[in-house]
Amino acid sequence: MKIVILGFGTVGSGVYDIIANGDTRMRVTAIFIRPTHPATMPEMTTDLDAILNDPTIDVIVETMGGLHPAHDYILQALQHGKHVVTANKAVVAKYLPEFTAVAAQHHVRFYFEATTGGGIPWIRNLERATRIDQIDTIEGIFNGTSNYILDQMQRAHLDFDPVLLAAKDMGYAEADPSADIDGEDVVNKLKISAALAYNMAPPRDVPTFGIRNVSKADIDFFASQHQVLRLIGKSKRDGDHYSMVVEPRLYSETALAANTFENFNLICLHGQTIGDLQFYGQGAGKYPTANAIVQDLYDILENAPHLDRSFDQPLHFDANLNVTDYVLRADPMTFAMFNDRETEIVNDRLVIKQIPTGDMHKLMRGVLAIDADAFMAAIGDSELAAKDVLHQQDQEVIG
């Protein structure tokens, strides 16, 4: 099987290494690079047309990232009768139904295991679960960078900025870490997962709040209450309605999520007959992600088809499908926004009880307009912990 890699960064070079030192039935015959990139290997080329029009090329591996020109390159490859494997979660989250339809029209495969969960075989197992069950919940730690930051802030007692710098030095965070710390990376992975689980096109907008504003004082306060903070993506289905949210969430210190350390991921699904399935492993990195790409290449080589999806299930997005408690750290003058809710003040923080998720995220935008450094976290309503209740030693706070 002859393979071309588009882009030769961290993941692309990892794919090359695995193939070069692995199965002789696979061979990388070309590596597409941008004209500004120096050609340091004989396989490197800037001629995409030659690649697309070469009938001997079987598979295109896209590792360039971003929406454009990746979207155009993937479409052209499929239209030229090439299978495509990608790790690009942003382009898949936005164009998955289109890519799937074009691949079917041209009798080729479009696989994307590496987009979600890094080396965890999440996509493949999610597809398998949907063959039997209706999946009603997806929840998890989808981003290794944010998990590393929160874990180090708690266990090493550090503040946000030095941990973020360390994450960059270790290669966990990009030079611009916005997608990781603001939750957009998790949004893309959650959209892909929900699209497969529910066979529908995901919504354009998902309520999202990241960890940019979390402070050491926040982490220390939660730890004093035997709680651990994690950035979570969650989707829930109830009949023909479903929800999606990305937000920080508190877990009891004995929960699995609380004990998912460093850059690891933990992703859970719940099905009607299988119950809870949880998947744990390296969520990012050169070789874990490259490994997932090569697994897809093996499926193409061995003619192992993945689940067909039309993404046309008529479901309705409802941001308020979930109702839970939140803890808010902000300028006290913002607390008046919640006067019509049941609340309690704990250590200068406001606990808002049983508020719909969509409503809380809307109100949080108003809070941030007054206090740009404000921070919130959800309490409870979790598939990854049996109990998420914020405790105060001297007074009880209902979670």
* Residue appearing with tokens 């299978």: 83
Tell me the one-letter amino acid at 313: Q
How deeply is 333 buried, as exposed, middle or buried, from its count of CB atoms within 10 A (0-12, 13-18, 19+)?
exposed
Tell me the one-letter amino acid at 121: P
Rounded to whole angstroms, the Cα distance separating 137 from 119 reads 22
Task: Report the half-sphere exposure of 109 (CA within 13 A, side-chain side).
Answer: 20
Q: Parallel, antiparallel, or unpaired for β 44-45 and 27-32?
A: parallel
What sign for the dihedral angle of Cα 135, 255, 261, 356?
A: positive
**Options 82, 89, 94, 189, the catalytic residue:** 189
Residue 203 contacts by C-beta under 8 Å, 6 or more apart in sequence?
A: 191, 244, 317
The values of phi and psi at residue 271, to 5°, are -120, 160
What residue spans of the chain are helical by DSSP H? Answer: 10-20, 48-52, 70-79, 89-105, 122-132, 144-155, 160-169, 178-181, 184-198, 216-224, 286-301, 357-370
The values of phi and psi at residue 264, to 5°, are -80, 155
Task: Report the half-sphere exposure of 351 (CA within 13 A, side-chain side).
Answer: 19
The values of phi and psi at residue 150, to 5°, are -65, -40
Q: Which among 61, 377, 23 has a CA at the least distance from the CA of 211?
A: 377
Known catalytic residue: 191?
A: no
Helix, strand, or coil (residue 278): strand
Contacts of 149-152 with C-beta under 8 Å, sequence gap 24+, read 149/173, 149/181, 149/211, 150/211, 150/214, 150/219, 150/228, 150/229, 150/230, 150/231, 151/260, 151/261, 151/262
| Tokens found for residue 207 | 């309520």
| Tokens found for residue 198 | 């529910």
Q: Which residues are catalytic?
A: 189
